[in-house]
Structure 1
Amino acid sequence: MKAVILAGGKGTRLRPLTSNIPKPIAQIVNTPMIVHTINLLKKHGFDDIIITIGYLGNQIEDLLRDGKDLGVNITYFKEYFPLGTAGALKFLEEQFNETFLVISSDIITDLNLKEMYEFHKSNESTATIALTTAEIPVAYGIVVTDENLRITKFLEKPGWSQIFSDKINAGIYILEPDVLQFISKGEKFDFSKQLFPKLLEENFPMYGFTMNCYWLDIGENTKYVQANHDVLAKRISLDHLGKEIKESVWIGDETEISPSASLWGPCIIGKNCKIGDNTTIDRLSVIGNNVHIGKNAQIKRSVILNDATIRDDAFIENNVIICPRTEIGEGAKVMAGSVIGEDCHIGEHSVIKHNIKIWPNKEIEPGSFINMNLKHGTYVKKSLFGPYGITGLVNYEFTPEKMTKLGSAIGTYFGAGSKVFIGRDTMLMSRMMKRAVITGLMSTGVEVYNVEALPLPILKYVTILNGGRAGIMLKVPYAEINSINIKIFENDGIELSPKAAKKIEGIFFKENIRRVEPNQIRDIIPFKMAYEQYLEKIMAFINSSIIEKRKPKVVIDCGNGAGSLIAPQIFQKLGCEVISLNTLETPAPLKTFSPYTEALSNLSKTVKVLNADFGFLLNEDAGRVIFVDEKGEILEGDTTVSIFTKIRLQEKGGGKVAVPVHTSNIIEQVADEYNGTVIRTKSGNRPLLVAVQENNTIFGGEETGGFVIPDFQVLRDGILAAAYLTEYLVKKEKVLSELTKAIPPFFMAKEVVPCPITIRGKVMLNLIEEAYYFNFNTLDGIKMFFEDYGWVLIKPSAMDDSFEIYAEGRNKKEATLIARHWIDEINNLIHEIETGM
């Protein structure tokens, strides 16, 4: 007899289990669902089978082929566009000259199909529908029958007031070929919505066959797990579970189980598996084929699919699905109801919270705490904060929902009633994300001051001036134009300490959010005075009268960033003749500078062509600045640091200056000449500002263009730095190239060496052993000093899996040779560690 299996659906509700496979080949107790269906058909005499396929249907064909291995004959009909549940049958009309059966691939049952067939024939029915009952029938199509089980009415997903029956359509039909005349060819056509109502309208005899057996519609992940549990609990009778080594414990061939492992039936373990010492496989657990489970692991009532790996001490809680080829790291925990897609790697000691879905091909960093579904991107970090705040892809890593939650976590940390200033750059993405953060802040009772679009230094200044408890800046980084960067700072304008950042992460990931009562929610306060307050301060700090007399010509590249909104106006008010580039008045796509190469080249040409006194480029939030002299020469970062160090020491008669550990030794030469002391700091946003604040320095600077003049504020401020330099040049009647020429020459090299993060610690330990042959320090990485001249700094990158190498020598060749020597040393160490040689 003929049967049709409907297998063309996408299985959307079962994702990520069905992200890369068609739903019918998802496994129930290590056998594809559709194979269980075929075995049922064959058992009751339906051995000529047509399968309608669509989404990823080639995988079904590759699995089943012609059906001979299963003792049946299989042919296929491919739907190139959705035809509904019944539409495909019209194309098969010529193949049906006798009664046939249709069954959905979404269900698992042990229905006696032969008995249903006989019921159909004895009632001379045109269409017989298998009927089952449901506790919540409104989610299904209701079927109403008379006392003889003849169908009298259909109700497609009725309301509760329409429930006249608890019988629902079970997705199994026995049909006469006559019914096919009512199906429209090439159009989407449905059994329940169109064909059956039409047959009823035409008064064809239709009957309902009441099922007194197991039936389950596997429409979502919880039902999928339930189906596996029900088979193991023998609520449904299925064959071929494997070799039963003890009561209700089935084991496949070539599987190795440690004598100290505990197996609690009912459970099933597939072929070629390895179960480690002291591991527990709890009741109602399903372990697929080729699964390796380490020592001391616990698997509780979950489904672990083929080729997965569960490392030592991992814990898999109730009703979890681990998809094929996924690895759960040592000591990791996957909590109840979660689904981990194919080809994922969950890092060691990570925690996946309850009911989380992780889509395929995700790399979860060790120690991560995942409490939100992960669908987009490939690499997931264990922490929110990086070296430069919080950064992630918009609408992928950071959605508005996630940003609202972040706002709630920040608000919980600072507390209800706190005064928080929030600003952004000029990009639409930033505006969208800022509004989401504000919503979260308000939910925790924070008083939000909305400062809108402005540069970061100005936001920090007005936060401090107006008694803010904290500030938040959202911007789009130049180098990652599809990302959002969030900086959070406290009432001194300095970014959060690592301790504070960890607390906010803990609140965010553990969802320890304290929301207030509705009557405690505070209003959003628009703050309109930011530019006026900053302008007043800078005009008081810089001597504009002497600048106005000279009227220097300055070229400002605002980079289409927030500096566009105020930098040109400030320099005009100071008395400069201003030529502005890349302002918001001439909208253009945000550029990707690496590091600002194209923009600096254009700035250099513009300065020379216009015979300007100098030019400068602001980064996207105007916190950093790069200078170009009157000849069009771009100043190296350490040269600019040296110039500012010299100016500040001259004006103050000596003092302390703070610079990062990788800055050139030329700073010490300049400081020695002008009665100065150099304080070295770690790299990163926060350490330089903390050093300036704690050591009462007169200046802080770094080669990336961040300059701190504490007399104004203990913050990086590109606009202020440029204004301060303008005043100095006018006052001393100098040009910028003169200042550059007065700095002794120095020679630096910088390189990057890739290194897997898993062995980075071992490489560092080996480098420390070599460092003992030199003078060295470990302030930030390993910095070794050589007897004659020069040094090298080797530090793990905060951004990726690599080492950064900084070297200085007596000439460029020597600096390059030093760097290359240590590149070779690191590569040799990596090779030795990876090969064990």
Structure 2
Amino acid sequence: MRAVLMAGGSGTRLRPLTCDLPKPMVPVLNRPIAEHILNLLRQHSIEEVIVTLHYLPDVVREYFGDGHDFGVDLTYVVEEDQPLGTAGCVKNIAALLQDTFLVVSGDSITDFDLTTAIQFHQEKNSQATLILTRVPNPKEFGIVFTDGDGRINRFLEKPSAGEVFSDTVNTGMYILEPEVLDYLSSGMERDFSKDLFPLLLQAGIPLYGYIAEGYWCDVGSLETYHRVQQDALQGRVTLEMIGTEIQPQVWVGRNTILPADVQIQGPVLLGNNCRLSAGTCLEAGTVLGDNVIVGTQAQLRAAVVWNGGVIGEESLLNNCLLARNVRVDRHSQIQEGVVIGSRSRIGEEAYISQGVHIWPGKQVEPGAILNQSLIWGTTGQRHLFGQRGVAGLANVDMTPDFAVRLAAAYASTLEPGTSVLVSRDQRSVSRMVTHALTSGLMSVGVNVLSLEAIALPISRFAAHTLSVSGGIHVRVHPDRADYLLIEFFDHKGINLTKGRERQIETAYFREDTRRVTLTDIGTMGYPSQTLAAYAQGFEKWLNTQVFYRSHCRIVIDYAYAVSGVVLPQLLNKFGCDAVVLNATLHQMPLDGGALQNLIAQLGQVVVALSAGLGVQVSANGERLTLVDNHGNVVSDQELTALMAHLVLTAHPGKTIVVPVTASSAVDQVVAHHGGHLVRTRTNPTDLMEACQRQSAVVLGGSADMGFIFPQLHPGFDGMFTIAKLVEMLTLQDITLSDVRSQLPQIIHHHRRIRCPWVAKGSLMRHLVETHPSQQLNLIDGIKIGEPESENWVLVLPDASEPLIHLYINSGDLTWADRMLQLYSRRIEDFARLEPTSDVTM
């Protein structure tokens, strides 16, 4: 039997370790990852291996040669022009694969029983068998769900938080029959999970999943690389150790000299020809490669030092990674999480702060204190984007230097000379960060069209009228007053897709953004008539004559935000009788308590003035809180149903788009008016795209996100929602309280429950496995309920925090309360945590 070892990866997220080394050649316990894989194949009598190469192929070929020294027969195939993807590169060598073959990734450490997996494949008479395993946090992998016979009935590549319905993941190891390659075209980039396996499922070809026992780790980041070293030392994975075990959990290579007073606390691995001086202290988790020299009184705590490293006397290395031929001079301190690329030199008494990354060939001067990476800057978290964009603590996470790098990374994914729209709210911190973003864009050769401080709906509207490639908007986070939110949208004004977000993240973390010459630096412009263009669109999609004869007085609370500068001008133009509250601009955002006080005041003013309604505009013009003519606040779920009722009364039979979390009251309203309801994931991008993609859509969104009127623009627009409310109430000659009395009465609970990231996948799999498939809906999260029933439970993992959102929906208060308690206990018991807060609507 032959195996295909895919060893072409560049290991972007392992930089700087992989700047000059292919990912499969990164050493674990002083052997390349690819060597451990070949050892595993040989142990299971697979000795003919085809190695596919792309990035730095000569490094792999020079190390392994023909494979005879490693007990295997190697054949190399190099993708010269461009990578063909996991499936494309295998299709490229189909002529060499005439019988059952194994595909294995070159960047994983595992001790799976491949013999048993192959027997499973043969017993099932399978055409394609995926070797699976279970992991605590499956978000970074392709998740898979199998039936009792092992047949795969659903899988998804790198799911969002709401799509995690299992903790069973694809390991990138497949047992295949050669016939499956006939479903692929030659010379095209194709992926097994995204392309081939869906084709096989569509064709009715049975796919099986073998859930393997044992250890598996995809070495996809610096954190996992360090962890797999420690796991191997601790014996959690069975790997061949190099050297002699001179005492329990201390392995020493050939010709390595240990002085009598050296202190070693296992587990520790020392390579060949190492030299340790007097008083050296090696603590648990330390791995030294070949030819490493350690000076007197040096301390190494869980440090990994590759071949040729030199550690000076009295230096301290704390839980860090040093690539080949790194020199650390005496009295230096290397702190936790530091990664130093090959051939770098750290001068005497230098101090490298926690988390700093140093690219190959760099030199740190003696006595320097290094707090940032020696390239563009520090490297942050693994993911930048959350549910709505990039968010973090204002002026702590979201700093000007971070904004410059983020904008440069985004602009590097665009063509030079294109234009990007930039806008913000009125806050001082937003202005500061916007200026930094502008600098980053221009430095990469992208032109900037600045709208300054303006409501977000106007910025989205302007995106397609100004013919830009995309846009960036900066504002205080609508749900956290101490957070700043940077949102990116495309040329239509729609938030970027997950694929585009990953492109930006890749450019950011690689820190290899484009640079242009002086003459190609981007320009800065300030478009005029933006508000006038929005007003024209506003007027085009309103029955403005209604406002002149309307006797409906409205009270609008702008909560001291920028929408208060815009909306009064629009409403006054149409003669709307509007009483404005708190329309001045404040630099500091209001907290939740202050906003609630303003809403209470709003209700009192509505009653005092006998107004038809009151609204508080929030989220930089996107959202609103509604108060009826009796001064009562309309809950979010009720507001969503109310808007659907009013719009469908005016446009019966049309389409409404709402997130999966919306109350079933919306279903009843839509059915009553003969309309069509589309539910989407809670991601704002999905809602916006669905409103553009579906036919005859007249309303989208929900009260907690904002409402979309796709004929005006594709984003949420609280200002246009207010105008439409007045228009529809006047045309239908009805009061807001009367509309509320006509709405279905549905109980809708929402509870937030803390759940560790590592427990989310297994929790979701547990729920899937313990409920009949006919009761499950997996649009986003896991929705449990009878088909066409008002009684349902939705368990939805949070995309940005270690939380589970629990939604209960029913027309029966007793059932809803019982399910709230039942599922809360199930989730809390499973996660072994207590709930953080409750919100009942």
Q: TM-score, normalised by structure 2?
A: 0.61
Is structure 2 residue 310 aligned with structure 1 residue 301? yes
Say which is worse superposed, 427-436 or 644-653, in terms of deviation.
644-653
Is structure 2 residue 820 aligned with structure 1 residue 819? yes
1-structure distance, mates of 2:363, 2:775: 51
1-structure distance, mates of 2:340, 2:759: 24
2-structure distance, mates of 1:522, 1:290: 48
Is structure 2 residue 652 aligned with structure 1 residue 653? yes
The answer to whether the Cα contact below 8 Å between 2:262 and 2:277 also exists between their aligned partners in 1 is no
Q: Which residue of 1 aligns with 2:470?
A: 470
Does the residue aligned with 2:822 lie in a helix, a strand or coil?
A: helix
1-structure distance, mates of 2:547, 2:459: 26
CA positional deviation for 1:599: 3.1
CA positional deviation for 1:401: 2.6
**Cα gap change, 1:250 to 1:793, in 2 (>3 Å):** farther
Q: Which residue of 1 aligns with 2:505?
A: 505
**Cα gap change, 1:655 to 1:268, in 2 (>3 Å):** farther
Paired AA for residue 576 in structure 2: C
1:256 is aligned, of 234, 245, 266, to: 266
**Cα gap change, 1:610 to 1:436, in 2 (>3 Å):** same
2-structure distance, mates of 1:707, 1:684: 14
1-structure distance, mates of 2:505, 2:827: 34
CA positional deviation for 1:827: 2.2
2-structure distance, mates of 1:337, 1:445: 34
The answer to whether the Cα contact below 8 Å between 2:647 and 2:728 also exists between their aligned partners in 1 is no
Q: Which residue of 2 aligns with 1:20?
A: none
The answer to whether the Cα contact below 8 Å between 1:659 and 1:702 also exists between their aligned partners in 2 is yes
The answer to whether the Cα contact below 8 Å between 1:593 and 1:599 also exists between their aligned partners in 2 is no
The answer to whether the Cα contact below 8 Å between 1:556 and 1:568 also exists between their aligned partners in 2 is no
Say which is worse superposed, 463-472 or 507-516, in terms of deviation.
507-516
Where structure 2 has 5 or more consecutive residues not aligned to the other structure, the ranges are 1-254, 365-370, 834-841
2-structure distance, mates of 1:413, 1:306: 40
Q: Which residue of 1 aligns with 2:439?
A: 439
Task: Kindly provide the CA deviation profile for residues 58-108 of structure 1, in whole angstroms up to 9, marking residues without a partner as x.
Answer: xxxxxxxxxxxxxxxxxxxxxxxxxxxxxxxxxxxxxxxxxxxxxxxxxxx
Q: Which residue of 2 aligns with 1:796?
A: 797
Q: Which residue of 1 aligns with 2:666?
A: 667
**Cα gap change, 1:453 to 1:286, in 2 (>3 Å):** farther
Task: Kindly provide the CA deviation profile for residues 776-814 of structure 1, in whole angstroms up to 9, marking residues without a partner as x.
Answer: 022211111148751111121112112111111233443
Paired AA for residue 465 in structure 1: T
Q: Which residue of 2 aligns with 1:74?
A: none
Superposition pairs of residues 649-728 of structure 1, within 5 angstroms: 649-696=648-695, 697-728=697-728
The answer to whether the Cα contact below 8 Å between 1:559 and 1:620 also exists between their aligned partners in 2 is no
Superposition pairs of residues 527-546 of structure 1, within 5 angstroms: 527-546=527-546
CA positional deviation for 1:617: 1.4
Does the residue aligned with 1:415 lie in a helix, a strand or coil?
A: coil
2-structure distance, mates of 1:575, 1:721: 17
Q: Which residue of 2 aligns with 1:384?
A: 384
Task: Kindly provide the CA deviation profile for residues 469-518 of structure 1, in whole angstroms up to 9, marking residues without a partner as x.
Answer: 21111112254444432111111110111111111222222223223222
Say which is worse superposed, 263-272 or 463-472, in terms of deviation.
263-272
Q: Which residue of 2 aligns with 1:490?
A: 490
Q: Which residue of 2 aligns with 1:283?
A: 293
2-structure distance, mates of 1:356, 1:725: 65
1-structure distance, mates of 2:287, 2:522: 57
CA positional deviation for 1:293: 5.7
**Greater C-alpha Rg:** 1
**Cα gap change, 1:570 to 1:274, in 2 (>3 Å):** same
1-structure distance, mates of 2:700, 2:300: 59
1-structure distance, mates of 2:341, 2:760: 27
Task: Kindly provide the CA deviation profile for residues 701-748 of structure 1, in whole angstroms up to 9, marking residues without a partner as x.
Answer: 223041111222222111111101110111111111111111110101
Paired AA for residue 683 in structure 2: G
CA positional deviation for 1:270: 4.3
**Cα gap change, 1:341 to 1:768, in 2 (>3 Å):** farther
The answer to whether the Cα contact below 8 Å between 1:314 and 1:328 also exists between their aligned partners in 2 is no
Where structure 1 has 5 or more consecutive residues not aligned to the other structure, the ranges are 1-244, 358-363, 833-837
Does the residue aligned with 1:771 lie in a helix, a strand or coil?
A: coil
The answer to whether the Cα contact below 8 Å between 2:558 and 2:616 also exists between their aligned partners in 1 is yes
**Cα gap change, 1:306 to 1:522, in 2 (>3 Å):** closer
**Cα gap change, 1:812 to 1:522, in 2 (>3 Å):** same
2-structure distance, mates of 1:826, 1:317: 50
Superposition pairs of residues 369-380 of structure 1, within 5 angstroms: none
The answer to whether the Cα contact below 8 Å between 1:748 and 1:812 also exists between their aligned partners in 2 is no
**Cα gap change, 1:660 to 1:301, in 2 (>3 Å):** farther
1-structure distance, mates of 2:563, 2:602: 16
Is structure 2 residue 745 aligned with structure 1 residue 745? yes
The percent identity for this pair of structures is: 21
Q: Which residue of 2 aligns with 1:576?
A: 576
**Cα gap change, 1:818 to 1:507, in 2 (>3 Å):** same
Q: Which residue of 2 aligns with 1:564?
A: 564
Q: Which residue of 2 aligns with 1:417?
A: 417
Q: Which residue of 1 aligns with 2:618?
A: 619
CA positional deviation for 1:281: 7.8
Paired AA for residue 563 in structure 2: G
Paired AA for residue 516 in structure 2: V
Does the residue aligned with 1:621 lie in a helix, a strand or coil?
A: helix
1-structure distance, mates of 2:325, 2:728: 67
CA positional deviation for 1:275: 4.9
Does the residue aligned with 1:600 lie in a helix, a strand or coil?
A: helix
**Cα gap change, 1:813 to 1:323, in 2 (>3 Å):** farther
Task: Provide the aligned C-alpha RMSD in A.
Answer: 3.7
The answer to whether the Cα contact below 8 Å between 2:471 and 2:491 also exists between their aligned partners in 1 is yes
CA positional deviation for 1:317: 7.5
2-structure distance, mates of 1:818, 1:635: 25
Task: Kindly provide the CA deviation profile for residues 367-412 of structure 1, in whole angstroms up to 9, marking residues without a partner as x.
Answer: x99966569xxxx531221111112334332332332222222222
2-structure distance, mates of 1:286, 1:500: 51
Q: TM-score, normalised by structure 1?
A: 0.61
Paired AA for residue 627 in structure 1: L
CA positional deviation for 1:520: 2.4
**Cα gap change, 1:370 to 1:609, in 2 (>3 Å):** farther
1-structure distance, mates of 2:794, 2:332: 44
**Cα gap change, 1:275 to 1:528, in 2 (>3 Å):** closer
Q: Which residue of 2 aligns with 1:609?
A: 608
2-structure distance, mates of 1:679, 1:269: 70
Does the residue aligned with 2:293 lie in a helix, a strand or coil?
A: coil
2-structure distance, mates of 1:711, 1:811: 37
**Cα gap change, 1:257 to 1:650, in 2 (>3 Å):** closer
2-structure distance, mates of 1:752, 1:286: 54
CA positional deviation for 1:325: 11
The answer to whether the Cα contact below 8 Å between 1:637 and 1:705 also exists between their aligned partners in 2 is no
The answer to whether the Cα contact below 8 Å between 2:287 and 2:302 also exists between their aligned partners in 1 is no
**Cα gap change, 1:319 to 1:804, in 2 (>3 Å):** farther
Q: Which has the higher contact order (CA 8 A, sep 6+)?
A: 2
2-structure distance, mates of 1:815, 1:320: 63
**Cα gap change, 1:452 to 1:328, in 2 (>3 Å):** closer
